[in-house]
């Protein structure tokens, strides 16, 4: 089972077992978009065209995604760091193909993890955290910041086209994709999404669908990566259903706009964000 599978809320260890058994039973008859696949229905992006993307690894293996908010801060999903030894974690910036040597890369250790104080593992409510790097990123063509929504911004309307990127695995044997993948998705009305999830969704989430009959979305090891609508991070990959990209269980993201004040409060308590790589319009 991939190390950072984003599962439905409340599945826990039993859910892990169910996914492992299901994966074993379906190896010979693969369902398109099933668990353990890469970004579903997507494509490889142009190298370094998503310079805000971050890979978080443990023991030399990609574990989760994230995005660079500030030269010393990364935004990711809180569930990625449960039961993890932060001293073994690395944050990789400027990457495209994780298995290749790339001169554009910058690698940092995790100096601190700030989890949202109301994060609820059982329901994945408030599934967001900040990682403070042990140094400052050097911005350039392959490493850039991604903006947050403006304070008080409403979430994107249903039907809005957005994109989700990641280095999710290409099989249940944890084979990585050739490089950074991306899929275009559309925001789904939250009430319709909640019906699909039988009313289990917590507040402050976003959902997406493919917009057509194809299975399209995120999968295991894409957790923590951003849902980018326009030029801002409006969502953070949180969890999906048993089969990745299945429209019966739409993809669920943390709604970033609900956490903008908290994010900047954390950053300000450590440093002055605008003296270290953000624009005044974002604060």
Residue 107 to residue 126: CA distance in whole angstroms:
27
Distance of CA 250 to the CA centre of its chain: 15
Q: Is the same domain home to 141 and 274?
A: yes
Distance of CA 83 to the CA centre of its chain: 18
pLDDT computed for residue 247 by the predictor? 85
Residue 36 to residue 274: CA distance in whole angstroms:
39
Is 164:187 a contact under the CB 8 Å cutoff? no
The SS3 of residue 187 is strand
pLDDT computed for residue 7 by the predictor? 57
Q: Please enumerate in sequence order all residues whose Cβ is within 8 A of that of 122, keeping only pairs 6 or more positions apart, or say none.
A: 9, 10, 12
Taking the chain, what is the end-to-end CA distance rounded to the nearest angstrom? 39
171, part of any domain: yes
pLDDT computed for residue 276 by the predictor? 46
What are the helix (H) ranges across the chain?
A: 12-25, 190-196, 260-270
77: CATH: 2.40.10.10
The SS3 of residue 90 is strand
Give the count of domains, the chain.
Answer: 2
Q: Is the same domain home to 140 and 156?
A: no
Domain containing 227: what range? 32-45+149-257
178, part of any domain: yes
Q: Is 226 exposed, middle or buried (0-12, 13-18, 19+ CB in 10 A)?
A: buried
CA torsion sign for 132, 137, 141, 147 is positive
Q: Across the 283 residues of the chain, what is the mean pLDDT of every consecutive 10-residue run?
A: 47 35 33 45 92 96 96 98 95 96 97 97 96 98 97 93 86 68 94 94 94 80 96 96 85 97 94 47 42
Q: Is the same domain home to 182 and 158?
A: yes
Q: Please enumerate in sequence order all residues whose Cβ is within 8 A of that of 102, keeping only pairs 6 or more positions apart, or say none.
A: 94, 95, 96
Strand partners, 185: 162
Q: Is the same domain home to 158 and 137?
A: no
pLDDT computed for residue 176 by the predictor? 67
Q: Is the same domain home to 241 and 165?
A: yes
pLDDT computed for residue 283 by the predictor? 40
269, part of any domain: yes
**Which secondary structure element, helix H or strand E, spans residue 111, and what is its range?**
strand 106-115
pLDDT computed for residue 272 by the predictor? 52
Give the residue numbers marked as catalytic. 79, 127, 223
Q: Is the same domain home to 161 and 36?
A: yes
Q: Please enumerate in sequence order all residues whose Cβ is within 8 A of that of 40, keeping only pairs 6 or more positions apart, or say none.
A: 32, 33, 183, 215, 216, 217, 218, 219, 244, 245
Q: Is 45 exposed, middle or buried (0-12, 13-18, 19+ CB in 10 A)?
A: middle
Residue position matching structure tokens 């932060």: 86
Token pair in block for residue 69 = 């908010």
Q: Is the same domain home to 208 and 265?
A: no
- State pTM to two decimals: 0.83
Beta strand 161-166 pairing with 89-93: unpaired
Q: Is 178 exposed, middle or buried (0-12, 13-18, 19+ CB in 10 A)?
A: middle
Q: Is the same domain home to 231 and 243?
A: yes
Q: Is the same domain home to 138 and 274?
A: yes
Instruction: Give CA angle at 130 (257, 2), nearest 5°.
Output: 100
21, part of any domain: no
105, part of any domain: yes
Q: Is the same domain home to 36 and 160?
A: yes
């Amino acid at each position: 089972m991939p190390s950072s599978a984003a599962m439905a809320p409340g599945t826990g260890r039993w859910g892990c077992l169910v996914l492992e058994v299901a994966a074993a039973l379906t190896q010979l008859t693969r369902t398109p978009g099933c668990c353990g696949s890469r970004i579903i229905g997507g494509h490889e992006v142009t190298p370094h065209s998503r310079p805000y993307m971050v890979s978080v690894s443990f023991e030399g293996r990609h574990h989760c995604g994230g995005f660079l908010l500030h030269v010393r801060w990364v935004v990711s999903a809180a569930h990625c760091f449960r039961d993890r030894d932060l001293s073994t974690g690395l944050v990789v910036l400027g990457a495209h193909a994780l298995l290749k040597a790339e001169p554009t890369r910058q690698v940092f250790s995790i100096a601190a993890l700030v989890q949202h104080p109301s994060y609820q593992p059982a329901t994945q409510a408030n599934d967001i955290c900040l990682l403070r790097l042990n140094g400052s990123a050097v911005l350039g063509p392959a490493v850039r910041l991604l903006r947050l929504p403006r304070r008080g911004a409403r979430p994107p309307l249903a039907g809005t086209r957005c994109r989700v990127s990641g280095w999710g695995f290409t099989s249940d044997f944890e084979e990585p994709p050739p490089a950074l993948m991306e899929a275009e998705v559309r925001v789904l009305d939250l009430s319709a999404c909640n019906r699909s999830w039988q009313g289990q969704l917590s507040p402050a989430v976003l959902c997406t669908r493919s917009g057509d009959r194809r299975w399209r979305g995120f999968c295991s090891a894409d957790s923590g990566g951003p849902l980018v609508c326009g030029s801002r991070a409006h969502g953070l990959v949180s969890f999906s259903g048993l089969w990745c990209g299945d429209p019966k269980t739409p993809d669920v993201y943390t709604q970033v706009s609900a956490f903008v004040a908290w994010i900047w409060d954390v950053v300000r308590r450590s440093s002055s964000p605008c003296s270290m790589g953000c624009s005044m319009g974002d604060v």
